[in-house]
Amino acid sequence: MPYSREISPGGKHPVVGKQIYRDIAYYRIDWTPLLPVDRHRINATVPSLPGIWEIYWLENSRSPRLLKMGQAWYGGLRNELRLEADGEDIRNRDMKEKLLSGDAYYRYTVCEAARDLEEVFDTLLSIRGLQAAEGPASRRYRDVRISEDDEMIIHRIRTPSQPRRKEESFSNPVPNMFDVVKEMRSSGQLPPESKKSDN
């Protein structure tokens, strides 16, 4: 089913597409890749547009686990993400360690229609298991359906580290021969070292 899609200014940012069929709203969410949480990156690349954001933590530097999500309207995505991803902000004290771990990532999508934004966000909360569904998903449509890619693309800042194996010695360490000679001389097994005479 084709989606009528709004393109963000310059076509640089992923958006939420929408199609109505038989009084059912079908939303297609295109997300950015998961990007490393970094204040300078957020200031430079995230738009001051309305939309939805999510912050993930990579468990064991591999598996994305949702930390929190939200919608931005006034102030836009840039302002919201800058605050919500700041590990030093008091509101994030429960997540400080994860946000500052180097394994925190964010993603976002732009949605410039207020009522669409509300419907999509409420439905996503239910899908993510963060809020029990109460009543109809929409007051405008018979139902709301969400489509998004199952696989997340992660733009890593570092390669996941493998657990380091303890190196096992295959034999006893080779002794330092200077120490061996010194010990043999002190025990009388070798004659004392002769001093060289100056000619």
The answer to whether residue 91 is domain-embedded is yes
The answer to whether residue 55 is domain-embedded is yes
Q: How many domains does the chain have?
A: 1
- pLDDT confidence of 106, banded at 50, 70, 90? very high
Q: Write the CA distances from 106 to 40, 52, 61, 131, 182, integer angstroms.
A: 13, 11, 14, 21, 63
The answer to whether residue 49 is domain-embedded is yes
End-to-end CA gap in the chain: 103
Domain that holds residue 53: 4-148
Name 4's bridge partners. Answer: 18
The answer to whether residue 28 is domain-embedded is yes
Average pLDDT, the chain: 83
pLDDT in tens, 128-139: 988 755 666 677
Strand order in the sheet with 51-59: 35-36, 104-110, 51-59, 63-72
The answer to whether residue 188 is domain-embedded is no
Q: Tell me if the pTM is above 0.85.
A: no
- pLDDT confidence of 162, banded at 50, 70, 90? very low
The answer to whether residue 159 is domain-embedded is no
The answer to whether residue 164 is domain-embedded is no
154 token code pair = 């992660």
Q: What is the DSSP string of 116-142?
A: HHHHHHHHHHHHTTSS---S-S-SSSS
The answer to whether residue 77 is domain-embedded is yes
